[in-house]
Structure 1
Amino acid sequence: MGALQKLRRIFAKCLSGGSSGCSYPMAPIGVALYIQENYVIIDNGILQLTLSKPGGIVTGICYNGVDNLMEILNKEDNRGYWDLVWNEPGGSGIFDVIQGTEFRVILADENQVEVSFTRTWDPSTKGTRVPLNIDKRFIVLRGSSGFYTYGIYEHLEGWPDFNMAETRIAFKLRKDKFQYMAMADNRQRIMPFPDDRLPGRCEQLAYPEAVRLTNPINSELKGEVDDKYQYSCENKDNKVHGWISMNPPIGFWQITPSNEFRTGGPVKQNLTSHVGPTTLAMFGSAHYSGEDLVPKFRDGEYWKKVFGPVFIYLNSSLSPTDYTLLWEDANVQMQTEVESWPYSFPMSDDFEKSEQRGCVSGRIFVRDRHVDCEDIPADCAYIGLALPGETGSWQRECKGYQFWTRTDNHGIFFIPNIRTGDYNLYAWFPGFIGDYKYDATVTITPGDIIDLGNLVYEPPRDGPTLWEIGIPDRSAEEFYVPDPNPHYINKLYVNHPDKFRQYGLWERYADLYPDHDLIFTVGVSDYTKDWFFAQVTRKGEGNTYQATTWQIKFKLDEVHEDGTYKLRVAIASSALAELQVRFNDSTVSRPHFTSGLIGRDNSIARHGIHGLYWLFNIDVQSVWLVEGENTIFLTQPRCSSPFQGIMYDYIRMEGPFP
């Protein structure tokens, strides 16, 4: 028997879970489709994909001699599945593993198989099933070491109102094999077993996702914290992640080649892989944003969107211990997928191919005469297209597509492969506050090549800078991030640039400031050492928490009575918090400025270092200021939990023009 025949014979034994026999013929060279009563099997000689019929659940993946990479101890509908969380307005969330009710073959030849599992909404299910038509597609190509999946969601005119808090794809892998997780060159490690999160093996921490391992199966992990949010990632960096099996050495990788179908823009954070072993393809979620990024469908509006395709890539190695080979190969494959976008092979007309799309180019400058007398080329600015809206609305946009890039050091940008439609062009600029919006709608039609020419952004500015704290980059990362309590560490983040991902850092504030709140003196203090990364509450007796008030002290040689002063406060994150600002008198009952209650992004608890961006431009009356020593009091009064608070991005005091 030849090697190829042996390989085919191995594959012919594979079915979901390996628990039942398989009587279909061995796959010929190319891609073969086998349709059974309850399963659909697609085999290209490299891998074999088994899907439930008509549900469209991934029940089995046979690869490299392993009969099933999916967790065979789980029920079949808890292995590989599309899901969403939805609710009627005012109702509670409903978790829905999307099961198809109709199966169709879209294409089946020796080069490609594409199959569809659809679920059509029926008015009789109102209140119990999300009012969407859903079409889940799976594609296997000849010679490809993996498979593609994408979904088409449609809400027809006149259908009921609803909210969709989350939608994604989840894969649950075999815990007896996949124990090494990788999501970046410096974020990969041996992971705990899911059993380590059971009673008797762990200590429950402040919220269900976080535990401290007290009796793990792998004793080397004892004392560490496990929390899935420690492995979150910004959309722009969330291109490949997954797991490696020890025996045999196999990699399972989720590759997302485009962010166009994800919500919230390039720096929106999402989950990746975590203990399970679980791998996620996140399309939309309220994580690190809250309700602002939950799409709400009202008044019977029509909506349709394609999520994906994403690629599930499998690889193997002859070396059982060198994980870097599999990770490096997965990154090479990721680059191949990115360069192949938009794919030419999906059969749905709703997925626009390259020739159906357009592109936009131009050059953008920043004009701030207090920084430079000439317009400054916008180096490394984020610039992109999203649905028409107000300035800065892109970060809360969650129904359409977004297309982003970064400018070069000359401010030049090129955005390719934009789906047809109407957009606004938005941008933001590390080093400058605020948001840019192009003053006209950009309409893309097939084949468009649109050059917008030279654009100019004028950031908010009323006068010269008297002083500033931080860097305007929409993150609190440059501020002081403490070492964790040694009792609550994840060893991955010891001596790691992302030390903010350690658990429990909110509690370190009271350790550092046991008797009084933070005081920052302009010209003396160093924000990298003396400005705590988050203004959190302080724990009191029992389960009570106290408001905190920070102080900024600064000197003015003189106060211009007829001049205009401005305080710019850029916030990187807010969690059910309020910013109150008082000048030179902390006791006045009515603050000189209040933001009101803002934010639900929960980034403090979820180690995110930023959530949604807020910018407050506060007019400062000269009578509030004095010659000599001044103090600004920043109070965060909301204090019912340890996770309420603010992460500052940047603070600037401007004086009047000379």
Structure 2
Amino acid sequence: MDSTSQELPRPPVHGKYDFRSNRPRQRKSEIIKYSIIAIIIIIILSLGVTFAVLFVSFKKAKVPNFQVKSVRVSRFSVANVLTDQQKVLSADVDFFLDSDNKNRLVGVYFGNMVMETGWAGVETTFGETNVRDYVQKSKGVTTLKVSTRSEVEVKMDVKQEDMKLNLSINGDLKFFSGPFKTKRLPFIVSCNNISGVSVHAACGFKLFTNGKTPDGKPKAQTPSQTPSQTPEPRPIDGGPTADESPPSPPVESFPPVKLTIQDKFVIMDNGILQTTIAKPAGFVTGIKYNGIDNILDTLNPEDDRGYWDVVWAPPGTPGTRGNFQRIVGTEFRVIIDREDQIELSFKVAYDPATGGKTVAPMEVDQRYVMLRGVSGIYAYGIFEREAWPAFGMPNARLAFKLQRNQFKYMAIADNRQREMPVPEDRIKSRVEELIYPEAVIMTNPIEPQFKGEVDDKYQYSEESQDIRVHGWICKDPPTGFWQITPSYEFRSGGPNKQFLTSHVGPSTLAMFVSAHYSGEDLIPRFAEGEPWNHIYGPMFMYMNNMTKGQDLPLLWDDAKERMMSEVKKWPYSFPASKDFAKANERVNVTGTFFVHDKYKSKVKGPARNAFIGLGPPGEAGSWQRDSKTYQFWTRTDEHGNFTISFVRVGNYDLHGWVDGFIGDFKHTTPIDITIGQNVDVGEIVFEPPRDGPTLWEIGVPDRLAQEFFIPDPNPKYVNKLYVNHPDRFRQYGLWERYAELYPKDDLVYDVNTSDYSKDWFFAQVTRPLDGGYNGTTWSVKFNLDDVAPDATYKLRVAIASASNSEMEIRFNKQKPTPPIFTTGQLGNDNSIARHGIHGLYWLYSIDVKGIELNKGSNTLFLTQTKGSTALQGIMYDYLRLEGPPKNTN
């Protein structure tokens, strides 16, 4: 058969036929199909494993602990732009955020950052950041740094030190809450009062877990505007107020505190600073902070860096003398050891067998506290005694001495801060000693800038009510060491008792009891068997730092801000001692204070800005001589209203005084304080001493001699800080100027023509005479149009200070005529020598018979009779002659 006619086989219906191999051809799609199926199976298995891992992982995932770490202003300045003479304010800000991230992936979306600054009530808003997205891919603690720079034109003159920066930032945190599932939660950060000083800015952080802000919109909050200047602290016991400061980062965002106990030392460490204390003595031997291995002076022995001491005296010890005793603990205890707080006790026990002959008959428990996230340490002392021997205690204090080669700039007030000499500048070969050993002229100092200046620690004293913060600054690295006093309730002598603060050393002191500016009157004396318990403190030793190159005074500004914060926290909640009364163990005393001088007004008026306080029971004015108990003071508002807050349980008298009026107020009803019962005394009225109308007066009744004539210092005795200064009375040697102004005859004052600010020397002091000194007699001339011989006139003499003096009063007759009045031996406050402008207050009301006065010309003779030294004398506060009583109805 012909091959061409043969019938070919049909191709398979399911595929193609290969004529060369004479068999059906398989399709390529089959291979692809099975390959895809295999791949899909592999993918499904992989996703299943991944899903299981993610499910387990994210089921355990929590919202990250995303907190503000710090805000640092690396540059904050004002400059002129010369092209058009614009004044531009610019700021570079580094913003740090910490995330304790338990998830593998966290996204952060930033909305905008708004910065504001203010001065003199002017607000300015800066621009927004251009930071939008940040993705964090690592586990563990991660720090996010956001940097921005902004500037704005300024329309007025400003000072850099007056500026405070406010900042807010908003956005979303993005994190995985399960497989293939992401949550975005809005957050807001708000920081106020950023000055570029503190590493830890006061910032608040809010994460809105419902996805919305309180107003329903995830937008940033605008921080409240803050005043450009630091406000005056409210009176410490002026009533609880709301804390207007922004919230600080939560304590959990800082490392826990750690206690290490060694053979001879204990170490407290909170990640910010490290404090080493000798065991069991209680000496603070070292503070490590801001890269400084030891802030305390390592040239001093370990017991002369941070320590407590007292001066005590057995009965019969004359004057203010006593035995110096450094408090050396004999018993060490750990009171609290937690992640948030350490409190340590270093107690010196008293052995009655010693009989009070070698150590003071009392026990002192030195307490030190370190808190988590706090840049400093707290210290307080528990002083107590039982039925032990009698003794007196002229002095009690806590002292810190800093590195002399680093801490050279001292600040105790806005207008009282300066570069200071070093201790070596005061050694005998480099100085000329003056009338007392604390005062020297630096004739050959190591630091040439101080040559010819006077250095005297008393020139840096302050009143108790003003000792809120003082300390020292190190330039490299820029570091501050500050002592902050949140309350003065535990100090002796009331609100205007003067104490030492900081001085060359560099030393910073917390004085609790002192005879300075008061003498023997303020020595606490304990009788045989008299028990006593008193807590001094807590005090806060605060440390801060800043970026190198910034203005160092910003450290002072930050210290003041911190002081305000500490004041608002008083009474502290953390002291473990049962003897320290917490807020719930205290009460408030309220009322309204009026003053009524019937010869000035027919009706009572509010005692504005008057002092009002609770002190131990006693006579009017006895509070200023109290040195054993607690006192609680405040000042009234413009309507005379007052609140004395956080008063401890006890029995008190309500005391007060009003500037512009002589005398002391004492409420007739004692005040008994018990827990849970606030006291409202209602309206109280002070009727200052007054018998008749004013015939003449000299000075201002404010318990100070500051309004009188204060001379310029001898150029040989200048402290440059007080040149053209409101406190010019703090210059050394001003008492010598009296004899230069009145070389032969004493001061004569005419009430009709003289000006007390020019013609009344601030102190009636002695005059050099024949190698010794002599008392002086001042004359006050006045005229009377008429005199009632049978009537009684009244001379009021208010004295601001008296140092080993005696005042005799005569009218129209000089010595040897007997005086119509004498004070006898008066005062021992030594305020003239210590540049205090006042010491203890004295008021004398002297009856003057009409027959002692003349119709027409009269002369009052004021004789200060004592004359053995240059430092004896009287500072007058105010003098007034009153006529006979009149009907004032």
**TM-score, normalising length from structure 1?**
0.95
Q: Which runs of no fewer than 5 residues in structure 1 stay unpaired? A: 5-27
The residue number in structure 1 matching 2:773 is: 545
Note the C-alpha offset of 1:125: 2.1
Instruction: State the distance in 1 between where 2:676 and 2:312 align.
Output: 37
Where does 1:548-559 land on structure 2 (aligned, <5 Å)?
A: 548-559=776-787
Instruction: State the distance in 1 between where 2:329 and 2:676 align.
Output: 35
The residue number in structure 1 matching 2:266 is: 40
The residue number in structure 2 matching 1:269 is: 498
- Identify the match of residue 735 of structure 2 among 485, 488, 506: 506
Where does 1:429-440 land on structure 2 (aligned, <5 Å)?
A: 429-440=658-669
| Alpha-carbon contact 2:255-2:373 (below 8 Å) kept | no
Instruction: State the distance in 2 between where 1:302 and 1:377 align.
Output: 41
Instruction: State the distance in 1 between where 2:382 and 2:422 align.
Output: 34
Q: Which runs of no fewer than 5 residues in structure 2 stay unpaired? A: 1-139, 144-253
Instruction: State the distance in 2 between where 1:125 and 1:555 align.
Output: 66
CA displacement, residues 86-115 of structure 1 (integer Å, 9 cap, x when unaligned): 010124511111010000000001100000
- Identify the match of residue 565 of structure 2 among 322, 336, 339: 336
Does 2:513 match 1:284?
yes
- Identify the match of residue 623 of structure 1 among 851, 863, 871: 851
CA displacement, residues 337-383 of structure 1 (integer Å, 9 cap, x when unaligned): 00000000111100010000011000011111111111011011101
- Identify the match of residue 425 of structure 2 among 196, 219, 235: 196
The residue number in structure 2 matching 1:65 is: 291
- Identify the match of residue 305 of structure 2 among 79, 84, 102: 79
The residue number in structure 1 matching 2:381 is: 151
CA displacement, residues 177-232 of structure 1 (integer Å, 9 cap, x when unaligned): 00000000000000011111102211101100000011112211111100000000
Q: Which amino acid aligns with 1:565?
A: Y
* More divergent stretch after superposition (451-460 vs 583-592): 583-592
Instruction: State the distance in 2 between where 1:612 and 1:3 align.
Output: 60
| Alpha-carbon contact 2:693-2:883 (below 8 Å) kept | yes
Question: Alignment RMSD, CA only?
Answer: 1.3
- Identify the match of residue 878 of structure 2 among 645, 650, 656: 650
CA displacement, residues 37-89 of structure 1 (integer Å, 9 cap, x when unaligned): 00010000000000000000000000011110000010000000011000101
Does 2:694 match 1:468?
no
Note the C-alpha offset of 1:321: 5.9
The residue number in structure 1 matching 2:277 is: 51
CA displacement, residues 246-276 of structure 1 (integer Å, 9 cap, x when unaligned): 2111100000100100010000000000000
Note the C-alpha offset of 1:146: 0.0
- Identify the match of residue 134 of structure 1 among 357, 364, 371: 364
SS in 1 for 2:729: helix
Q: 1:110 to 1:172 in 2, by over 3 A?
A: same
SS in 2 for 1:334: helix
Instruction: State the distance in 1 between where 2:445 and 2:761 align.
Output: 33
Instruction: State the distance in 2 between where 1:640 and 1:320 align.
Output: 54
Instruction: State the distance in 1 between where 2:815 and 2:307 align.
Output: 56
Note the C-alpha offset of 1:336: 0.4
SS in 2 for 1:570: strand
Instruction: State the distance in 2 between where 1:357 and 1:476 align.
Output: 37
CA displacement, residues 463-484 of structure 1 (integer Å, 9 cap, x when unaligned): 0000000000000000000000
Where does 1:247-266 land on structure 2 (aligned, <5 Å)?
A: 247-266=476-495
Does 2:819 match 1:591?
yes
Does 2:577 match 1:348?
yes
| Alpha-carbon contact 1:177-1:246 (below 8 Å) kept | yes
Where does 1:82-93 land on structure 2 (aligned, <5 Å)?
A: 82-91=308-317, 93=322
* More divergent stretch after superposition (117-126 vs 324-333): 117-126
Does 2:723 match 1:497?
no
- Identity among equivalent positions (%) equals 59
SS in 2 for 1:355: helix
Q: Which amino acid aligns with 1:34?
A: T
SS in 1 for 2:788: coil
Q: Which amino acid aligns with 2:304?
A: N
Instruction: State the distance in 1 between where 2:670 and 2:478 align.
Output: 51
The residue number in structure 2 matching 1:227 is: 456
> After the TM superposition, which parts of structure 1 deviate over 4 Å for at least 4 consecutive aligned residues?
1-4
Instruction: State the distance in 1 between where 2:885 and 2:846 align.
Output: 16
| Alpha-carbon contact 1:246-1:321 (below 8 Å) kept | no
The residue number in structure 1 matching 2:838 is: 610
Note the C-alpha offset of 1:133: 1.4
Instruction: State the distance in 2 between where 1:632 and 1:561 align.
Output: 17
The residue number in structure 2 matching 1:8 is: none
| Alpha-carbon contact 2:477-2:548 (below 8 Å) kept | no
- Identify the match of residue 419 of structure 1 among 632, 645, 648: 648
Instruction: State the distance in 2 between where 1:428 and 1:178 align.
Output: 40
- Identify the match of residue 527 of structure 2 among 291, 298, 318: 298
Note the C-alpha offset of 1:588: 3.6
The residue number in structure 2 matching 1:600 is: 828
Note the C-alpha offset of 1:391: 1.1
SS in 2 for 1:569: strand
| Alpha-carbon contact 1:62-1:69 (below 8 Å) kept | yes
Does 2:707 match 1:478?
yes
Where does 1:383-394 land on structure 2 (aligned, <5 Å)?
A: 383-394=612-623
CA displacement, residues 431-475 of structure 1 (integer Å, 9 cap, x when unaligned): 000011111221111122111000011110010000000000000
Note the C-alpha offset of 1:123: 1.5
Instruction: State the distance in 2 between where 1:575 and 1:587 align.
Output: 22
Instruction: State the distance in 2 between where 1:497 and 1:42 align.
Output: 43
CA displacement, residues 374-416 of structure 1 (integer Å, 9 cap, x when unaligned): 1011011101001111111000001000000001111111000
| Alpha-carbon contact 2:332-2:344 (below 8 Å) kept | yes
Q: Which amino acid aligns with 1:553?
A: K
SS in 1 for 2:710: coil
- Identify the match of residue 671 of structure 2 among 442, 447, 451: 442
The residue number in structure 2 matching 1:20 is: none
- Identify the match of residue 581 of structure 1 among 806, 809, 833: 809
- Identify the match of residue 213 of structure 1 among 435, 442, 450: 442
| Alpha-carbon contact 2:790-2:851 (below 8 Å) kept | no
Note the C-alpha offset of 1:137: 0.5
The residue number in structure 2 matching 1:15 is: none
Instruction: State the distance in 2 between where 1:326 and 1:587 align.
Output: 59
The alignment of Structure 1 onto Structure 2 pairs a total of residues equal to 633
SS in 2 for 1:383: strand
Instruction: State the distance in 1 between where 2:752 and 2:736 align.
Output: 28
Q: Which amino acid aligns with 2:678?
A: I
SS in 2 for 1:170: strand
Instruction: State the distance in 1 between where 2:532 and 2:660 align.
Output: 37
SS in 1 for 2:405: coil
| Alpha-carbon contact 1:247-1:320 (below 8 Å) kept | no
SS in 1 for 2:715: coil
Q: Which amino acid aligns with 2:738?
A: Y
| Alpha-carbon contact 1:248-1:320 (below 8 Å) kept | no
| Alpha-carbon contact 1:246-1:320 (below 8 Å) kept | no
The residue number in structure 1 matching 2:330 is: 101
